[in-house]
Amino acid sequence: MTARTESPDGVGSECAAVSQRIGVAARACGVTTRTLRYWQEIGLLLPSGMSEGGERLYGDEDVKRAARIKELQELLGFSLSEIRVVLETEDILDRVRSAYRADMRPARQLELLSEAIEANDTLLARLDDTLARVRAFRRERAQKADRLRARVAELESEMARGRRRAK
Amino acid sequence: MTARTESPDGVGSECAAVSQRIGVAARACGVTTRTLRYWQEIGLLLPSGMSEGGERLYGDEDVKRAARIKELQELLGFSLSEIRVVLETEDILDRVRSAYRADMRPARQLELLSEAIEANDTLLARLDDTLARVRAFRRERAQKADRLRARVAELESEMARGRRRAK
DNA sequence: CCATACCTTCACGTTAACGTCAAAGAATCC
DNA sequence: GGATTCTTTGACGTTAACGTGAAGGTATGG
């Protein structure tokens, strides 16, 4: 849909990084090659191509997806199976859209969509909950910061008094 | 500091759950007894008392602390060692406060405090980052929800047209 | 006082998510 | 075209955070 591999203009060599080998892709999204292979192993991120030599080739979208996976992991502590659900929900829209090739009955499409909607709403609810809790937590810590600094000021003025008296 | 174990009034039996056995405490904060023992093992949550028979006794604050630990785990995916840092920072204020028993030099107190402040600020920054990312993510998913529902509407009207024509 | 439920300390098992090597096949540079 | 670098597929190791008994002490209601 985005860019073809064919290099539409004849210039060549300008096709950008539409298809990178695993090492480059890994560095691009901040994980190891082992991780990318593992994600493939469990069906979480399939490289969109293979070289004839049998090497994995990752497109830009793959790299984006990898980065997204990593973010969900680190940001919210999602497990890979949770992430799988999120991403599958994401994929559904694309699949339904590209079901222009309407070999899929509209009824079936609706089914898929309502599934995706439910999953998405569940996720949204979870995100809202998370937001609320993190905000509460943040407030707490901000207050604690205030108290800490107040205590520091108190101590410092105390020490200053001590010094003045000792003089 | 809060409630003494002595039951100040003579009524008795009203001392509340200031000191519970491990099973009750575990249920109270939604973890297993094994988990509480593990958290003690790694020094994350020490039961505030022991019965003469050698059983762990958890006070209300312990239970709160346990609940906090669980929240940090599930909410933000913190590891127990990250949580340890957070809680230690939390403890410092209490310790410095109860350093009324000023066997601790004010200079040392200041040192502790600035350590705590730094750790706390780090945490705050992390929380802010998390908040920003989660919000961004939420926006994305909300938009996705809109698109999904739009596509449903589209499909439904399409099907309705189909039915009218077939009639 | 005794049955039952709860607790103790080992100690080994488990799961997720990779890390780490080995042996051998591609790709690339000069 | 040979050396160097990258990649492949196994296969075993590792770490965190517990789960799951076993063997035996403790608390408690009838």
Model confidence pLDDT, tens digit, residues A20-71 = 999 999 999 999 999 999 999 999 999 999 999 999 999 999 999 999 999 9
| CA B2/CA B64 separation, integer angstroms | 14
Give the pLDDT band (50/70/90) at residue B34.
very high
Contacts of A155 in chain B (CB under 8 A): 106, 109-110, 113
Q: How many CB pairs under 8 A join A and B?
A: 118
Residue B124: pLDDT over 90:
yes
Residue A10: pLDDT over 70:
no
The reply to whether ipTM tops 0.85 is no
Q: Answer whether A90's CB lies under 8 Å from A45's CB.
A: no
pLDDT tens string A96-108: 877 655 677 888 8
Q: Answer whether A51's CB lies under 8 Å from A88's CB.
A: no
Structure pTM?
A: 0.83
Considering only residues 138 to 157 of chain A, which have any Cβ-Cβ distance to chain B shorter than 8 Å? 138, 141-142, 144-145, 147-149, 151-152, 155-156
**pLDDT mean over B30-40:** 98
Residue A55, CB, strand D, below 7 Å: yes
Contact B133 A158 (CB under 8 A): no
Lowest-confidence region among A80-94, A126-140, B25-39 = A80-94
**Under 8 Å CB-to-CB from B56, ≥6 apart: which residues?**
B21, B22, B36, B37, B40, B47, B49, B50
**pLDDT mean over B28-39:** 97
Is A165 an 8 Å CB contact of chain B?
no
Residue A149: pLDDT over 50:
yes
Q: What is the 3-state secondary structure (H, E, C) of chain A?
A: CCCCCCCCCCCCCCCCCCCECHHHHHHHHCCCHHHHHHHHHCCCCCCCEECCCCCEEECHHHHHHHHHHHHHHHHHCCCHHHHHHHHHHHHHHHHHHHHHCCCCCHHHHHHHHHHHHHHHHHHHHHHHHHHHHHHHHHHHHHHHHHHHHHHHHHHHHHHHHHHHHHC
Is B42 an 8 Å CB contact of chain A?
no
Residue B13: pLDDT over 50:
no
Nearest CA in chain A to B102: A155
